[in-house]
Chains A and B, each alone.
Chain A
Amino acid sequence: GAVVSQHPSRVICKSGTSVKIECRSLDFQATTMFWYRQFPKQSLMLMATSNEGSKATYEQGVEKDKFLINHASLTLSTLTVTSAHPEDSSFYICSARPGLADSGPQYFGPGTRLTVL
């Protein structure tokens, strides 16, 4: 089946630093990738939709200058949390959608646990 990986799986950083999270589709090409954030005992919240070769579309309330998304290839999207603060501590999950169909399934990565001290 389709596999999506994320790196790193866990990261601890100091307040004010930037953290980059990678999302890769390992055995398929993904025109569209999604980034989600999940707080404890809460559902996933969509942060942004990333389309290869174009600017990401951010959901309302998500700061695009703080959460930088780059989708430079059909198998890689990155999320950079800039000037991280403790309130950015969360579980970040990406998903990738194979092919070009808008209605295709999403395959989720294993998530990245970010802790900002």
Chain B
Amino acid sequence: KNQVEQSPQSLIILEGKNCTLQCNYTVSPFSNLRWYKQDTGRGPVSLTIMTFSENTKSNGRYTATLDADTKQSSLHITASQLSDSASYICVVSKGPGGSYIPTFGRGTSLIVHP
């Protein structure tokens, strides 16, 4: 079982609508959680990073939340645009003793239709 589970696997929304992507993890010890956006055929680009003590982080229309107790995170996209169509990947890094090696979720494929 993957230590980072993302849902939904894919999502289709209309331009202008909001959406929320979920990430549940079992990685331990925890260091940080990052959300990346990966366009098709490109490398991932970092959107947000959160450590244990942070429970929300915003980057423009992207807002990430973290509940370290329940080991859940979400990425909320507001007023979606066509350019938001991409794969969104949740990455959790292990903390001390885990060499900070990141564990990747399988990603959520988002398609924004006009």
List the interface of chain A (C-beta within 8 A of B).
4, 6, 41-46, 49, 91, 93, 95, 102-103, 105-111, 113
B96 to chain A, nearest CB (A): 8
List the interface of chain B (C-beta within 8 A of A).
31-32, 34, 36, 41-46, 49, 89, 93, 95, 99-102, 104-107, 109
From A6, A42, A45, A108, contact of B44 by CB (8 A): A108
CB <8 Å contact, A43 and B106:
yes
CB <8 Å contact, A111 and B41:
yes
CB <8 Å contact, A108 and B43:
yes
Q: How far is the CA of A14 from the CA of B45 in the complex (A)?
A: 32
Which residue of chain A is the closest to B42 with respect to CB atoms? A110
Q: Which chain B residues border A108 with CB–CB below 8 Å? A: 36, 43-45
CB <8 Å contact, A105 and B49:
yes
CB <8 Å contact, B43 and A109:
yes
Q: How far is the CA of A108 from the CA of B89 in the complex (A)?
A: 13
Q: How far is the CA of A113 from the CA of B109 in the complex (A)?
A: 20
